[in-house]
Amino acid sequence: MYTLGEFIIENRDKFLYSTEALLRLFSSIKLASKSINKEINKAGLTEEIIGSSGFTNIQGEPQQKLDHFAHRAFIESFKSRNVVCGIASEESKDFIVIKGEKENIFQNKYVVLIDPLDGSSNIDVNIPIGTIFSVYIRKTPIQMELTIEDFLQKGNKQILAGYIIYGSSTILVYTTGNGVHGFTLDPSVGTFYLSHPNLHFPKREKIYSINEGNYARFPEGIRNYIRYCQEKRRPYPYTARYIGSLVGDFHRNMIQGGIYIYPKTVHFPCGKLRLLYECNPIAFLTEQAGGKASDGKKRILDIKPINLHQRTPFICGPVEMVSKLEEFIKNEK
């Protein structure tokens, strides 16, 4: 059974960039995710990790203690591996600059965008949560100051994206543009082993995932699509599954065959999910798993971001399911 490191080396000719850099990136990601995993497993035993931190993030959402812990774990871990020059995080208003080993020199060329803890409202109730990450090559020349444009790149420029799901087991799933591969953490040795090679949406259309509590606030096309899923779909209706952790909902849908939808609502006129930290990485994985990711009209990966924390409506899943929903949106009166 391959470890993640062995798998990367074995497949090094398929990665267009430096294998050493990729190993260092994963070394940072593994280190931080293992310490988060350890903390999550203690939830309920200590007051230090469950509950609200008392702060809100840039978008006014309450931050959980574990949001902070995960954010700091990733920043420290990336700092220590000397491969990244900047990080933008859902939990931080501005991007964070990381200088290279030589004082004051920005020698590294990779930037990371991260949702350190996804699904944080589920921390206290033992439901899967995750981390979502995404890596780009900076646009400005090495040794120059980073600018916001290094982070506001279209999703189609990602060189690496993935997530860690802290569920019944802890799994790291990633793509570099050569398929989607999943590795399960063996906690007894602290090693990720290849468990899900070449993940792909199955042919079977089975699930729709949407927060139906917002039904009355959805646009007409979305409401019509939900009715189609429940009443009109032949030969059988889809089954509804929604846990409120994008990582968990997506992971299940990719394995079992389903569509994930977070549309605009009356309260979230641009949708709720963040383009840079959530939608782009999941869209890259979706396409690499043979699916389609859209904002209802256009491809997520072609959107030019205009600010770090912008939101977008988000739909991802098997191509036929997403295209069908796009038809409903198009036919909206």
Can residue 39 be called a binding residue for ligand AHG (CB under 6 A)?
Answer: no
The total number of residues written for the chain in this structure:
333
| Residue count, binding to ligand AHG (CB under 6 A) | 11
- Separation in Å, CA 20 to CA 1, 13, 120, 201, 257: 22, 12, 32, 30, 35
Q: Which of 24, 36, 20, 23 is nearest to 70 (CA)?
A: 36
Residue span binding ligand AHG (CB under 6 A) among the ranges 12-20, 24-32, 155-163, 239-247? 239-247
Write down the least CB distance from residue 48 to ligand AHG, Å. 19
Residues in region 87-116 near Mn ion by CB under 5 A: 90, 115
Neighbours of 70 (CB within 10 A): 31
Can residue 253 be called a binding residue for ligand AHG (CB under 6 A)?
Answer: no
Write down the least CB distance from residue 62 to Mn ion, Å. 11
User: Are 289 and 272 in contact, with CB atoms under 8 Å apart?
Assistant: no
Can residue 211 be called a binding residue for ligand AHG (CB under 6 A)?
Answer: yes
Can residue 272 be called a binding residue for ligand AHG (CB under 6 A)?
Answer: yes
Distance CA 85, CA 92 (A): 16
User: Encoding tokens for residue 64?
Assistant: 């959980």
User: Are 161 and 281 in contact, with CB atoms under 8 Å apart?
Assistant: yes
Give the one entry of ligand AHG, Mn ion, none that residue 253 binds, where binding means its C-beta sits below a cut-off of 5 to 8 angstroms depending on kind: none
Can residue 286 be called a binding residue for ligand AHG (CB under 6 A)?
Answer: no
Can residue 118 be called a binding residue for Mn ion (CB under 5 A)?
Answer: yes
Residue span binding ligand AHG (CB under 6 A) among the ranges 153-161, 224-232, 242-250, 321-329? 242-250
Closer residue to Mn ion (CB): 229 or 275: 275
Residues in region 83-112 near ligand AHG by CB under 6 A: 90
Can residue 249 be called a binding residue for Mn ion (CB under 5 A)?
Answer: no
Distance CA 143, CA 310 (A): 28
Q: Which of 79, 78, 54 is nearest to 68 (CA)?
A: 54
Closer residue to ligand AHG (CB): 8 or 73: 73
Q: Which of 29, 288, 310, 11 is nearest to 158 (CA)?
A: 288
Residues in region 258-277 near Mn ion by CB under 5 A: none
Residues 6 or more apart whose CB falls under 8 angstroms from that of 75 comprise 87, 89, 96
291 strand-pairing partners: 318
Which of 131, 245, 253, 294 touches ligand AHG (CB under 6 A)? 245
Q: Site residues (CB under 6 A) for ligand AHG?
A: 61, 90, 115, 118-120, 211, 244-246, 272
